[in-house]
């Protein structure tokens, strides 16, 4: 397929793509084209939504989070289930970055550059996990997955401030807390390759959450909103989950959470 000359239209095309390999390859092509100056950016263009967003493969089957299944580190099957669950999170994260890139108009150019970077890095994470899953004798789609991350993306499709508040700095930030103990379990089980992939993911996710924090702060300042009270109001309005500890306070600090917020987590 020839490159699409406008970045946000290209991002929407990637979002609609159902095949994970094609989607992640196309994200890489889009990022390379943008870096080479081969596609423009129209921040004011209104692009049509679609009932097919996001594009997904026929598998994995989407179930309630409680029905995903237990993931014991004591067996190869259990480790494969965990790696599959992580790959599913990263596939959803590719989609949410693409949605943040194409959906919201009239943001500064660096906003779109940031979300293109997130989409590209999430695509890399998915490819790393899918490749490792293959070494465990499985492929993406072999186990069920859940859709809770995308549900909040859909809820906030009409409000960029809510999106920044409740997806990167709330739901994705939970990964900063969850990754270190998961990494320890995988390393203890002898899966050092998976542990190294989680090191890469944690490094990058700090940057992704920082992007959400930074643009949430920018949007609050532009609208004259007090960020802490506004965040609490958005959590209540959209029925967002309240994070539960233990918290990775050091990673959250690097991701841009203020001392006031960190005191709340502590």
| Domains, the chain, with CATH or none | 7-41+54-265 (1.20.1260.10)
In this prediction, residue 86 carries a pLDDT of 95
Q: How far is CA 202 from the centre of its chain?
A: 12
In this prediction, residue 1 carries a pLDDT of 52
**pLDDT digit string, tens, across residues 124-161:** 999 999 999 999 999 999 999 888 889 999 999 999 99
DSSP 145: B
Beta-strand ranges (E) seen in 66-160 are none
DSSP 40: B
Residue 201 buriedness (CB in 10 A; 0-12 / 13-18 / 19+): buried
In this prediction, residue 2 carries a pLDDT of 58
What whole-number distance in Å separates Cα of residue 55 and Cα of residue 42? 23
Whether the model pTM is above 0.75: yes
In this prediction, residue 73 carries a pLDDT of 80
Scored b (16 or more CB within 10 A) or e, 103-140 reads bbeebeeebbbbbbbbbbbbbbbbbbbbebbeebebeb
pLDDT along the chain (266 residues), means of 10: 82 96 97 95 94 93 77 84 95 97 98 98 98 96 89 95 97 96 94 97 98 98 98 97 92 97 88
| Nearest one of 31, 23, 142 to 93, comparing CA atoms | 23
- Cβ proximity of 9 and 50 under 8 Å: no
In this prediction, residue 229 carries a pLDDT of 97
In this prediction, residue 3 carries a pLDDT of 61
| Nearest one of 89, 104, 111, 90 to 27, comparing CA atoms | 90
Cis, bond preceding 60 (omega within 30 deg of 0): yes
Number of C-beta neighbours around residue 254 at 10 A: 15
């Amino acid at each position: 397929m020839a490159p699409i000359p406008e970045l946000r239209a290209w991002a929407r095309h990637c979002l609609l793509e159902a095949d994970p390999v094609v989607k992640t390859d196309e994200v890489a092509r889009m990022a390379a084209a943008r870096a080479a100056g081969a596609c423009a950016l129209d921040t004011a263009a209104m692009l049509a939504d679609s009932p097919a967003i996001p594009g997904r493969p026929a598998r994995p089957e989407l179930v309630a989070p409680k029905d995903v299944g237990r993931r014991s580190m004591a067996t190869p099957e259990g480790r494969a289930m965990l790696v599959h669950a992580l790959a599913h999170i990263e596939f959803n994260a590719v989609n949410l970055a693409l949605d943040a890139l194409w959906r919201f108009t009239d943001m500064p150019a660096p906003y779109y550059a940031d979300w293109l970077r997130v989409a590209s890095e999430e695509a890399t994470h998915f490819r790393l996990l899918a490749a490792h899953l293959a070494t465990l004798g499985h492929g993406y789609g072999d186990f069920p997955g859940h859709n809770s991350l995308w549900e909040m993306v859909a809820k906030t499709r009409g409000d960029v401030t809510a999106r920044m508040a409740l997806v990167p700095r709330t739901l994705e930030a939970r990964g900063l807390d969850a990754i270190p103990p998961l990494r320890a379990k995988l390393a203890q089980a002898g899966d050092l390759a998976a542990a190294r992939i989680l090191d890469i993911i944690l490094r990058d996710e700090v940057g992704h959450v920082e992007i959400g924090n930074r643009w949430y702060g920018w949007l609050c300042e532009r609208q004259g909103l007090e960020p802490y009270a506004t965040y609490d109001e958005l959590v209540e309005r959209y029925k967002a989950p309240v994070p539960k500890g233990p918290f990775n306070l050091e990673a959250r600090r690097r991701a841009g959470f203020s001392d006031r917020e960190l005191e709340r987590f502590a």
